[in-house]
Structure 1
Amino acid sequence: MAIKTRKYSIDGKREMTIDEFKRWLKKFDSDKDGRISRDELADAIRVTSGGWFTKRKSKHIIRSADGNGNGFIDDNEIINLAEFAEKHLNVRILYL
């Protein structure tokens, strides 16, 4: 379930809208509670990066994206995660 898009920018980054990013991320919501847990995020990052990120790194990522500190990424915190994806997962998020 790598991040798949048909659009690439000049610098080779995959382009996707924030809505496409949300839909991709929700595929990892295994318990369908509408939030992404630390383990679900670790699975998403592992799949996307080819196993490059460790579980410890995933914990750090969710802490930095989890604005209210409840251990989950919800709809209000997706933007924080999108910023991480732009920096570390070779993705450009388009805010249309």
Structure 2
Amino acid sequence: MAIKTRSYSVDGKHEMTVDEFKRWLKKFDEDKDGKISKDELADAIRVSGGWFARRKSKYGIRSVDANANGFVDDNEIKNLAEFAEKHLNVRILHL
């Protein structure tokens, strides 16, 4: 379930819109609760070829979880997209 994107940028990053990012991320919502847990984020990182998936997912959740409930929900997806741009070899296109 690798990241499927429209293209790669000059620097080799996967390019996708925020909506494409949301759809891709929801594939990892194993319990279908509408939130991304640390373990689900680790799966997404691992599948996309990322290293240190558990460490990055723990850091990612801590960095973007505005309400400190331990999950990323729809209100925090924008924060996770910003995290992905910095740490997960993704470029979010703002169309």
**Considering the TM-score relative to the shorter chain, is it more than 0.5?**
yes
Q: What is the rounded CA distance, in whole Å, between the counterparts of 1:54 and 1:29 in structure 2?
A: 16
Report the alpha carbon displacement of residue 89 of structure 1 after superposing the two structures with TM: 1.8
Q: Give the TM-score normalised by structure 2.
A: 0.89
Counterpart for residue 47 of structure 2: 47
Counterpart for residue 73 of structure 1: 72
SS at match of 1:49: coil
SS at match of 1:36: coil
Counterpart for residue 56 of structure 2: 57
Report the alpha carbon displacement of residue 27 of structure 1 after superposing the two structures with TM: 0.1
Q: Which runs of 4+ in 1 moved over 3 A?
A: none
Counterpart for residue 24 of structure 2: 24
Counterpart for residue 13 of structure 1: 13
Q: What is the rounded CA distance, in whole Å, between the counterparts of 1:93 and 1:54 in structure 2?
A: 20
Any unmatched runs of 5+ in structure 1? none
Instruction: Please list the CA deviations of residues 9-66 of structure 1 after superposition, one character each: whole Å capped at 9, or x if unmatched.
Output: 222222100000000000000011111111111111111134x124233212111011
Q: Answer whether contact 2:43 2:53 (CA < 8 A) is retained.
A: no
The amino acid across from 1:37 in the alignment is: S
The amino acid across from 1:81 in the alignment is: L
Question: How much identity, in percent, do the aligned residues show?
Answer: 80
Q: Structure 1 stretch 8-17 or stretch 70-79: which is displaced more? A: 8-17
